[in-house]
Structure 1
Amino acid sequence: MPAALSVDLRQRIMAAYEAKEGSQRQLAERFKVSLSFIRDLRRHHRETGTVQPKPHGGGAVAKLGKEQLPIVEALVTAQPDALLEELCERFARATGVEVSVSTMQRTVCKLKLSVKKNTDCL
């Protein structure tokens, strides 16, 4: 997602609108922003009295936090040749939290561990 437009640009747009320097559509073309941005900016200014962008809403919460990293590390250490799917299943049994293979892969990489299938058994 792109960064919020600068407060300076927002102030110039609102000043131009209040000075009736053009319609919303003309201002959108002039300032190279979308018409919906002009509408949303006007609504935001009307409701809050400011043109400051809204704070970032955050993001998705990770299923595996710092508390679970030692569990994953113990699972990999106990059986370093386990497949990622097997690690996911064992992690779910140990914690009750189901994670995807890609989440497990990112966690293993974060811990700087290696998961390799043992080919000596074949």
Structure 2
Amino acid sequence: MQPYSLDLRTRVVVALDQPSSRQAAVAERFGVSVACIKKLLRHARETGSLAPKPASGGRARYLDTAAQAWLVAYVGQQADVTLAELNQAWQAQGGRPIGQTCLWRVLDEQELRRKKKYARPRA
């Protein structure tokens, strides 16, 4: 979900500065919730700005770059390895247990496809 635009934030605060304005009426007028207005006012009071907070970036990666490089190199050496076999090899070399989806995402980002045999027409 995207943050509200700076223009909308400014219009809400200007509307709240009008005499005898109520938060509920301003919220209804601009199509936002009263909780949103309260958070906006608190954010403006704490930071002095109406600009939204920067994006946090999401969760950190489970595998660091060295681990990802090891996985890619291993698949480069043994191209026909399955995800289950790759997971076992990862754990055997001292890595912590990880899901196959995590492995698949690393290989997909490197464009290493799992299908090794091409489709052939039936006889």
- TM-score computed with the length of structure 1 as normaliser: 0.80
> 2:41 maps to what in 1?
42
Identity of aligned residues (%): 33
> 2:61 maps to what in 1?
62
Quote the offset at 1:34 in angstroms: 1.5
Change (3 A) 1:80 1:116: farther
Unmatched segments (≥5 aa) in structure 2: 118-123
Change (3 A) 1:111 1:45: closer
* Structure 1 contact 84–101 (Cα < 8 Å) conserved: yes
User: What amino acid maps onto 2:10 in structure 1?
Assistant: Q
Change (3 A) 1:46 1:113: closer
Aligned counterparts, 1:1-122, within 5 A? 2-20=1-19, 22-116=21-115
User: What amino acid maps onto 1:29 in structure 2?
Assistant: E
How many residues align? The count is 117
Instruction: Return structure 1 stretches of 4+ with deviation > 6 angstroms.
Output: none
Relative contact order (C-alpha < 8 Å, sep 6+): which is higher? 1
Change (3 A) 1:94 1:21: farther
- TM-score computed with the length of structure 2 as normaliser: 0.79
Quote the offset at 1:67 in angstroms: 2.5
> 2:120 maps to what in 1?
none
Task: Kindly report the root-mean-square deviation, in angstroms, between the aligned alpha carbons of the 2 structures.
Answer: 2.2
